[in-house]
Amino acid sequence: MSDQNGFQLVRRQAGGLIRSANLGDIFPAEKERPELWLFLVPHDDDAVIGCGLLLQKAAAEKKQIRVLISSDGAMGYCDLKTKKDIAAIRVRETRVSL
């Protein structure tokens, strides 16, 4: 089963595969408490590049989402002019992308 965008999720389990367009079918949760989805990533772009479609799907299904980035990107400057500002630049870029 796919959603209107052709998005399909698959979960492998002992009895075979579960296919659904709904995250609740793939990741069943305790219904009495609201879900919080936490994505732990080493770099700012890893959340969008590595988990972008899942983040998009979770947001569409009104999941509470948090992204924890473990590095500020200060060592990833492109030239000496951006060295002192790169961490702040990456924070701004990350907020826009998420």
One domain, residues 4 and 43: no
- Asked if 56 and 83 sit in the same domain, the reply is yes
- Say yes or no: 51 and 77 in one domain: yes
pLDDT of residue 17: 94
CB-based contact 8:2 (threshold 8 Å): yes
- Residues 54, 92: one domain? yes
19 compared with 74, residue with greater pLDDT: 19
pLDDT in tens, 29-87: 766 677 788 999 988 788 888 888 889 888 988 889 999 988 877 777 677 777 788 88
Whether residue 60 is found in the same domain as residue 90: yes
Position 5 scores a pLDDT of 67
Query: Cα 13–55–85 angle (5° rounding)?
Result: 135
The pLDDT score that the predictor gives to residue 32 is: 65
Looking at the fold, whether 46 and 20 belong to one and the same domain comes out as: no
Together in a domain, 22 and 52:
no
Q: Are 61 and 24 members of one domain?
A: no
The DSSP H or E segment spanning 11 is strand 9-13
Give me the pLDDT at residue 28, please: 77
Q: Are 98 and 47 contacting, i.e. CB atoms less than 8 angstroms apart?
A: yes
Name the domain count of the chain.
2
Question: How many CB atoms within 10 Å of residue 73?
Answer: 18
Residue 9 has pLDDT above 80, yes or no: yes
pLDDT value of position 64: 92
Strands 16-20 and 9-13: antiparallel
Supply the range of the domain harboring residue 83.
Answer: 34-97
